[in-house]
């Protein structure tokens, strides 16, 4: 069986702002122990960075997101790596995954509007050597992303005091 991940990590994954003191209390470890563990995780790159989940739509931002399935002709020696690298270096590209199935790379890109994103796909992405086909899906509505539900959340409807 795979090793159960450290509780410290699952706490931080849920709340990056949990303090060393809070985590120490939650896990029953000493603050010093927790501080050392976190420092090690950071050093090892297990913890890559701390970020905030923002519902940009609520801020009035109108960024456009597209999911692009890319078919790639793998090159000798480098496989998909070279193409993936050329793609992920663009700042517009948020995620790149190598996936199984009839497309090879799944790419997430973000831009200020559909026109700009379309231009990016047509001019930059589709023209990369080795890219033979792209299939673009624009995001229409965000329901749930990385554990967070972006639509109506369930409310706590329990009675205030129960036996």
Partner 1 sequence: MNKDRQPELPSLARTVTGLPPSGIRRFFDIAAKMQDVISLGVGEPDFATPWSIREEAIYSLEHGQTTYTSNYGLLELRSAIAAHISQLYDVQYDPESEILVTVGVSEGLDLAMRSILNPGDEVVVPEPCYVSYKPCIILAGGVPVTVRTTADTNFCVTPEQIEAVRTPKLKAILIGYPSNPTGATITRESMQKIVDYAQRHNLFIISDEIYDRLVYEGEHVCVSALHGAQERTILLNGFSKAYAMTGWRIGYACAPPSVLAAMVKIHAYTMLCAPIMGQKAALEALRHGDASLSEMVQQYNQRRRVIVDGLNSIGLECHMPQGAFYAFPKIVSTGLDAETFAERLLFEQRVAVVPGTAFGAGGEAHIRCSYATSIRNIEMAIERIGAFVQSLDRSDRRLRSITGSQ
CB-neighbour burial class of residue 104 (10 A; exposed 0-12, middle 13-18, buried 19+): buried
Ramachandran angles phi, psi of 157, nearest 5°: -110, 20
- Interface pick for partner 1 out of 44, 54, 140, 161 (rule CB under 8 A): 161
Cβ 157 to partner 1, closest distance in Å?
9
- Interface pick for partner 1 out of 6, 9, 11, 118 (rule CB under 8 A): 11
Between CA 134 and CA 10 the distance in angstroms is 36
- Interface pick for partner 1 out of 62, 123, 152, 154 (rule CB under 8 A): 154
Q: Determine, following the binding rule CB under 8 A, whether residue 25 of this chain makes contact with partner 1.
A: yes
- Interface pick for partner 1 out of 22, 128, 134, 136 (rule CB under 8 A): 22
Q: Determine, following the binding rule CB under 8 A, whether residue 158 of this chain makes contact with partner 1.
A: yes
- Interface pick for partner 1 out of 26, 39, 75, 78 (rule CB under 8 A): 26
- CB under 8 Å, gap of 24 or more: what pairs does 17-22 form? 17/50
Ramachandran angles phi, psi of 142, nearest 5°: -95, 115
Q: Determine, following the binding rule CB under 8 A, whether residue 9 of this chain makes contact with partner 1.
A: no
Ramachandran angles phi, psi of 119, nearest 5°: -60, -45
Contact string 53-82 vs partner 1 (x = CB under 8 A): ------------------------------
CA dihedral sign of residues 4, 6, 8, 13: negative
List residues binding partner 1 (CB under 8 A).
7, 10-11, 22, 25-28, 154, 156, 158-163
């Amino acid at each position: 069986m795979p090793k159960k991940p450290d509780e410290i990590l699952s706490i931080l994954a849920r709340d990056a702002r949990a303090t060393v003191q809070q985590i120490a209390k939650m896990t029953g470890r000493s603050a010093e122990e927790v501080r050392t563990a976190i420092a090690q995780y950071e050093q090892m790159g297990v913890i890559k960075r701390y970020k905030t989940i923002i519902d940009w739509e609520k801020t009035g931002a109108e960024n456009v997101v597209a999911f692009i399935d890319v078919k790639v002709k793998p090159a000798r020696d480098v496989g998909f790596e070279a193409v993936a690298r050329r793609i992920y270096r663009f700042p517009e590209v948020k995620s790149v995954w190598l996936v199984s199935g009839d497309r090879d790379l799944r790419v997430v890109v973000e831009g200020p509007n559909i026109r700009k994103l379309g231009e990016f796909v047509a001019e930059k992405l589709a023209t990369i050597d080795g890219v033979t086909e792209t299939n673009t899906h624009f995001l229409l509505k965000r329901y749930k992303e990385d554990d967070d539900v972006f639509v109506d959340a369930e409310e706590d409807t329990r009675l205030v005091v129960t036996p």
